[in-house]
Amino acid sequence: MFSNWLNRTTFAMLTALCMSSLPLIAHATTVRLPTAMGVIDINLYDSAAPQTVANFMSYVNSGAYNNTFIHRSALGFVIQGGGYVWNDASNNLSSISAGAPVANEFSTSRSNRRGTIAMAKFEGNPNSATSQWFINLADNSSSLDGSNGGYTVFGEVSLASMAVVDAIARLPIGNAGGAFSELPLIGNVVNNAIQKSNLVIIDKIAAVPNNFQGLWWNPNESGWGMSLTQHGNILFVAAYTYDDAGLPIWYVITNCPVTPTGCSGDLYRVNGGTPPTVPWGGAGRVLTRVGTGNLGFTNIDNGSFNFTINNVSGSKTITRQIFASGTTAPAVNYTDLWWNPNESGWGVSLTQQFGTIFAAWYTYDATGKAIWYAATNCPATTAGCTGTLYQFSGGAPLTATWRSVNPAVPVGSVTFAFSDPANGTMSYTINGVTSSRVITREVY
């Protein structure tokens, strides 16, 4: 997105890195589990656990998971499904017809922490997983990572969906014997006869529209870009670009419903916020609709951004930006939209690829005008990252012919320190002034 303007050496290294990494990047499948308690969206680790994901998707695509139910809820441990089907014709249940076991793909880089989904299997047989899966309600790494060859984590529940998982975990438990000794139940069971309405039924597991989350750019117009944050079938779009004077400005589409080929929504500009080096006071913040935006995707990695801004229409070819390579997925992926809910009006989009985080921060200058900064190379650990903070200028507005931006100007540094996968602190120095903000993943 902005790497061309760091310096020639950095650019050459990044170019070589990106070219070599292309075959190693695979983009996650998202599946949706609709239940009476709400929808659970799960992002699968296609590249990190390919055999396990393929096994799981074979049951999804065959319809084997239709009308299944959560048959186990162990308090503070897991909820489990994928083993049994409710038969509407007989008003009774039966076991799923399981296929061949899948080879164990456990890795310490994918630990059994809260919110992850893993395969269940027979004790003493690491390669016995078939159809049953479970969602970790807590950090179970100490008990599950080191036993039975390790239990293969192959995806992660979206942050917004964890509220549904927790609601299921809080349901009363009934003991129906055997595999149903920890059966979560909805409502009252009459005459000890469990009905379909008492079960947490999963009507149908299905892949949701393609996941377009990530950093997008036009490699022929390095200096502007877009951060796409996808929760389920809704994209939050943040475009980082320039005004007529070549000064940084940002636009957002806050609600862009995804179809298989893209999304459309209203495009907004925000002014009147406070700069990050002083306490937040967003009372003067003004949200202005400036037009519309449409993202059209030809495939998972390529598309176009079509827009109308202040009655001027235009179009940009965009592609997914690859800026890091590796073979091991991060234990915690911090890719998401982050904010402080008490300071609505600014935010930071984090895009993580393997061990590198790209941060695009949209905020305001001292006059309240929208401005953005970027940390283009923030080496990540499970605890966070620290990187140089850059400011950009000189580019053309989206509605004009592109012109090259000025060299990036380092204005300070930023550190993201995470206390858990969903919360942290953003500490920074801008032009010699140091401050910090509490941040959390934005749920929408």
How confident is residue 28, by pLDDT bands cut at 50, 70 and 90?
low
How confident is residue 329, by pLDDT bands cut at 50, 70 and 90?
low
Q: What is the DSSP letter of 282?
A: G
SS3 state of residue 135: strand
Q: What token pair was written down for 407?
A: 């060299």
pLDDT of amino acid 327: 63
pLDDT of amino acid 399: 97
Distance separating alpha carbons of residues 170 and 74, to the nearest angstrom = 10
Q: What token pair was written down for 413?
A: 């540094």
Rounded (5°) CA angle 268-434-273 = 20
Distance separating alpha carbons of residues 215 and 227, to the nearest angstrom = 5
pLDDT of amino acid 417: 98
- Given strand 133-136, what is the order of strands in its sheet? 72-74, 78-81, 133-136, 116-119, 153-157, 38-44, 30-35, 206-207
Token match 């940009």: residue?
316
pLDDT of amino acid 21: 29
Contacts of 118 (CB under 8 A, 6+ apart): 112, 133, 134, 136, 144, 151, 152, 153, 154
Q: What token pair was written down for 370?
A: 């929208």
Q: Which helix (H) or strand (E) holds 12?
A: helix 8-21
Q: What token pair was written down for 291?
A: 């037009």
What phi and psi, each to the nearest 5 degrees, are found at residue 363?
Answer: -150, -145
Q: What is the DSSP letter of 342?
A: G
Worst-scoring range by mean pLDDT, 86-100, 203-217, 251-265, 405-419? 203-217
Distance separating alpha carbons of residues 222 and 1, to the nearest angstrom = 6
Distance separating alpha carbons of residues 432 and 82, to the nearest angstrom = 55
SS3 state of residue 320: strand
Identity of residue 208: V
How confident is residue 210, by pLDDT bands cut at 50, 70 and 90?
confident
SS3 state of residue 53: helix
211-215's contacts with Cβ under 8 Å and 24+ in sequence apart are 211/27, 211/28, 211/29, 211/30, 211/43, 211/300, 212/258, 212/295, 212/297, 212/300, 212/303, 213/335, 214/27, 214/320, 214/321, 214/335, 214/351, 215/1, 215/320, 215/321, 215/323, 215/351, 215/358, 215/360
Q: What token pair was written down for 257?
A: 């419903």
Share of the chain above pLDDT 90, in %: 74
The residue count for the chain? 444
Q: What token pair was written down for 410?
A: 């380092």
Q: Which helix (H) or strand (E) holds 122?
A: none
Distance separating alpha carbons of residues 423 and 339, to the nearest angstrom = 10
Q: Which residue has the higher pLDDT, 371 or 258?
A: 371
Is the entire prediction scored with pTM above 0.75? no
pLDDT of residue 15 exceeding 80 = no
Share of the chain above pLDDT 70, in %: 93
Q: What is the DSSP letter of 117?
A: E
What phi and psi, each to the nearest 5 degrees, are found at residue 55?
Answer: -60, -50
> Which whole-number Å values give the CA distances from 279 to 238, 274, 342, 366, 424, in the listed order?
24, 8, 12, 12, 18
Worst-scoring range by mean pLDDT, 206-220, 235-249, 307-321, 383-397? 206-220
CA 264 to chain centre: 20
pLDDT of amino acid 236: 96
Q: Which residue has the higher pLDDT, 188 or 27?
A: 188
> What are 151-164's pLDDT values in tens digits?
999 999 987 788 88
